[in-house]
């Protein structure tokens, strides 16, 4: 794993290696353990190596292999940024097509030779890869379903540029880094549901679970994997669901601990990260071969109300993990200057704390830093399927869980019924009426993302970027539909990609067991009432891990007080500087007077609109972008003692 880039001239003109060299210089940080290159005059493909897994280290001689003789038998050239988790299964199925020291790239190549464009059905893990068939002059470039690796492209006539980062493509001489204004407008409104857009004009992202298929005179992006909406998993006892979930999650954690070097984990007090820690400790106690785990937890010396160590410390003590505290008071949320990049602004208000985690993990010689980023998507969201219980005639369970819900939230039962049963029933009936033609779409408003109060009319009427992520498999309805929408939420998908972007800059890989495709398939196949029940969020996960760690109750505390303190008090001068002469005003998207008036009210505690943070972060990014765009794009030559020069 590490990264990739490619330049293809479909019209066979020379010059592809020159563009590749520019991209290699921009992606040098992704190849600390070497670079593999296939360089033809009209097609150059490069893979950057970052050795993480046992399989990575076992393959000492890293090179792109031409699988067959390209000149005679239509061989393939494959480059990948990948960690393949179902290696054993693939090695068994594809035994005749693999060498004994097969790398993850070799596994992908063999899978493509066997199954062609359907190979994503058989690949489990985090990946982005490209397959070039020089005989057919056809490129197939695909991305994993949970967007854990980045993959971007630009096509100018007969030239295609492909890379793990947007900045690599703009490093090619002659490629513009002009802003893509529709993406900026969507970001300001808090609309992240356009998986193909980037912030640079003419550069697109390959969406998760999609592939770019390009050949002379033709290119298309299409979905190449999805869940099976008809798959169902049914057990007689609730305990069987818990056991099955625990088994799948343990395998997801094990796969991400197959490294010879320590693995780090951002450990809070919530279910998502504590589940990873407890499972890792349990696997080690069972004699399973896993990497040593180091934990990194936030310390709130001046905001004890935000501290979660009453949970995390117990887990660290129980399993004897090495632990490091991150002093949040020493990490500014606004004034720290992140490395300039052309990817996109970050979304999280605590992004700099995550960066500090990567720095410390790299200092401690970890090869990977894990998080529970996708946990909320897979088993959270407070999606209770009371209508499903009603429709299936499970009356006793329905009444029992509604009573539990009301008791847990200390609310009147009638309020819970109105919110959780009557409201969703009205929505579902409305959908049915519209689908049946008995009600026109105009009878009910179409949901849209509202603009912040400081937006100008130009922003309010700006067209949204093309390529919405509103895809829903046929056959999904009710809470199963809502779960699918949550699990594929665009903002969180971008967060997973951004984690990888930040990790590799510290020489690390990023990983999240909750992003495992097998978990996604399981969650979509079991009854939704198994996941969240009786007013308890993440019920199945809590039940699975409380048995491993009796007496410890995970409890997530959102550190909003830290965020508000930074914007209102400790870093107010830096906020004010960003509001002075903002570049967003030059784009015509914000009214500066209304924005400053909002900040005055925010500081007084009378306002708290999360889109204010998006505006601040975007303003910072724009200033970096303008500074970056003024450079002459000169880059240092790529040199490393392990690399192969191009």
Nearest to 622 by CA among 630, 610, 611: 630
Beta strand spans in 216-292 (E) = 218-223, 263-266
Contact of 175 with 167, CB cutoff 8 Å: no
Annotated binding site for L-glutamine: 104
Give SS3 for 521.
Answer: helix
Nearest to 19 by CA among 635, 639, 642: 635
Contact of 177 with 625, CB cutoff 8 Å: yes
Beta-carbon count within 10 A of 30 CB: 29
Does 447 map to a domain?
Answer: no
Give SS3 for 125.
Answer: strand
Q: Which of 208, 223, 238 corresponds to the end of one domain?
A: 223
Q: Per the structure, how many domains does the chain have? A: 2
Model pLDDT, residue 639: 29
Q: Which of 195, 223, 251 corresponds to the end of one domain?
A: 223
- Please give the torsion angle defined by the CA atoms of residues 444, 446, 447 and 453, in that order, rounded to the nearest 10 degrees: -100
For the chain, the farthest-separated pair of C-alpha atoms sits apart, in whole angstroms, at 75
Boundaries of domain holding 620: 566-629
Using alpha carbons, list the distances in angstroms from residue 75 to 6, 273, 470: 17, 43, 37
Model pLDDT, residue 121: 97
Does 519 map to a domain?
Answer: no
Contact of 137 with 86, CB cutoff 8 Å: no
Does 126 map to a domain?
Answer: yes
Does 385 map to a domain?
Answer: no
Q: Which two tokens stand for residue 596?
A: 């400053």
Does 217 map to a domain?
Answer: yes
β-bridge partners, 510: 369
Contact of 34 with 59, CB cutoff 8 Å: no
Beta-carbon count within 10 A of 257 CB: 25
Tell me, rounded to whole angstroms, the distance of Cα 175 from its chain centroid. Answer: 27
Alpha-helical segments (H) within 526-610: 528-531, 539-546, 560-565, 572-578, 583-586, 592-603
- Measured CA to CA, the distance from residue 566 to residue 166 in angstroms comes to 31
φ, ψ dihedrals at 563, nearest 5°: -65, -50
Annotated binding site: 104, 266
Question: Rg for the chain (alpha carbons), in Å?
Answer: 25
Does 27 map to a domain?
Answer: yes
Model pLDDT, residue 449: 56
Give the CATH number, domain containing residue 51: 3.60.20.10
- Measured CA to CA, the distance from residue 402 to residue 414 in angstroms comes to 10
Does 528 map to a domain?
Answer: no
Does 618 map to a domain?
Answer: yes
Annotated binding site for ATP: 266
φ, ψ dihedrals at 473, nearest 5°: -60, 145
β-bridge partners, 22: none
Q: Which of 223, 252, 267 corresponds to the end of one domain?
A: 223
Would strands 152-156 and 293-299 be described as parallel, antiparallel, or unpaired? unpaired
Residue carrying structure tokens 């949204």:
464
Contact of 20 with 175, CB cutoff 8 Å: no
Model pLDDT, residue 349: 85
- Measured CA to CA, the distance from residue 368 to residue 305 in angstroms comes to 30
Using alpha carbons, list the distances in angstroms from residue 213 to 141, 177, 465: 7, 24, 22
Model pLDDT, residue 466: 63
Q: How does DSSP classify residue 95?
A: G
Model pLDDT, residue 155: 97
β-bridge partners, 140: 131, 213
Model pLDDT, residue 71: 34
Model pLDDT, residue 345: 87
Tell me, rounded to whole angstroms, the distance of Cα 391 from its chain centroid. Answer: 35
Q: Which residues contact 404 (CB under 8 A, 6 or more apart)?
A: 533, 534, 535, 536
pLDDT along the chain (646 residues), means of 10: 96 96 97 95 97 86 46 70 97 91 93 96 98 96 97 97 97 94 89 90 97 95 96 96 98 98 97 97 96 97 94 95 97 76 83 95 98 96 95 95 96 96 88 68 48 91 68 92 94 92 97 98 97 96 86 84 94 93 88 95 91 92 74 38 31
């Amino acid at each position: 794993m590490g990264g990739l880039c490619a330049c293809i001239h479909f019209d066979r003109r020379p010059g592809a290696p020159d563009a590749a060299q520019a991209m290699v210089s921009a992606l040098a940080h992704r190849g600390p353990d070497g670079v593999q290159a296939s360089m033809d005059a009209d097609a150059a493909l490069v893979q950057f190596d970052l050795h993480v897994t046992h399989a990575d280290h076992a393959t000492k001689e890293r090179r792109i292999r031409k699988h067959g003789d390209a000149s005679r038998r239509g061989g393939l050239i494959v480059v990948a940024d990948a960690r393949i988790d179902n290696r054993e299964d693939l090695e068994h199925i594809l035994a005749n097509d693999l060498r004994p020291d097969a790398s993850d790239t070799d596994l992908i190549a063999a899978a493509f030779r066997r199954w062609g464009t359907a190979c994503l059905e058989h690949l489990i893990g985090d990946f982005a890869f490209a397959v070039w068939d020089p005989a057919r002059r056809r490129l197939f470039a695909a991305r994993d379903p949970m967007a854990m690796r980045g993959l971007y492209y630009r096509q100018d006539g007969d030239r295609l540029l492909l890379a793990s980062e947007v900045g690599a493509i703009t490093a090619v001489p002659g490629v513009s880094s002009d802003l893509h204004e529709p993406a900026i407008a969507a970001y300001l409104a808090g609309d992240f549901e356009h998986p193909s857009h980037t912030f640079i004009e003419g550069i697109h992202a390959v969406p998760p679970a999609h592939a770019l298929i390009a050949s002379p005179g033709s290119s298309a992006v299409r979905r190449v994997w999805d869940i099976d909406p008809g798959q169902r998993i049914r057990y007689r006892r609730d305990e069987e669901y818990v056991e099955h979930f625990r088994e799948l999650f343990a395998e997801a954690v094990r796969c991400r601990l197959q490294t010879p070097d320590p693995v780090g984990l951002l450990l809070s007090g919530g279910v998502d990260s504590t589940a990873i820690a407890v499972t890792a400790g349990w696997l080690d106690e069972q004699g399973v071969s896993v990497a040593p785990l180091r934990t990194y937890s936030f310390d709130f010396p001046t905001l004890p109300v935000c501290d979660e160590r009453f949970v995390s410390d117990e887990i660290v003590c129980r399993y004897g993990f090495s632990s490091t505290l991150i002093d949040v008071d020493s990490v500014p949320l606004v004034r720290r200057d992140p490395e300039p990049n052309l990817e996109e602004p970050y979304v999280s208000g605590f992004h700099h704390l995550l960066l500090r985690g990567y720095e410390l993990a790299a200092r401690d010689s970890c090869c990977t830093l894990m998080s529970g980023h996708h946990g909320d998507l897979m088993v959270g969201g407070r999606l209770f399927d009371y209508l499903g219980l009603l429709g299936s005639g499970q009356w006793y369970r329905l009444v029992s869980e509604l009573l539990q819900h009301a008791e847990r939230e200390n609310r009147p039962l009638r309020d819970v019924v109105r919110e959780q049963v009557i409201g969703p029933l009205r929505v579902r009936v409305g959908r049915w009426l519209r689908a049946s033609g008995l009600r026109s779409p105009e009878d009910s408003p179409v949901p849209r993302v509202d603009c912040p109060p400081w937006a100008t009319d130009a922003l309010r009427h700006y067209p949204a970027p093309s390529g919405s992520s509103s895809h829903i498999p046929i056959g999904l309805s009710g809470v199963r539909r809502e779960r699918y929408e949550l699990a594929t939420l665009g903002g969180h998908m971008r967060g997973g990609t951004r984690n990888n972007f930040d990790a590799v800059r510290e020489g690390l890989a990023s990983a999240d067991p909750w992003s495992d495709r097998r978990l996604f398939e399981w969650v979509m196949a079991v009854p939704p009432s198994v996941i969240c029940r009786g007013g308890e969020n993440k019920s199945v996960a809590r039940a699975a891990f409380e048995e491993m760690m009796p007496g410890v109750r995970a409890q997530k505390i959102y550190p909003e007080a830290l965020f508000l303190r930074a914007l209102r008090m400790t870093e107010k001068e830096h906020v004010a500087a960003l509001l002075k002469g903002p570049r967003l005003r030059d784009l015509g998207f914000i009214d500066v007077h209304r924005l400053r008036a909002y900040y005055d009210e925010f500081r007084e505690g009378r306002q708290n609109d999360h889109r204010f943070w998006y505006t601040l972060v975007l303003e910072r990014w724009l200033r970096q972008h303008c500074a970056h765009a003024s450079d002459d794009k000169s880059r240092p030559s790529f040199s490393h003692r392990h690399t192969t020069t191009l």
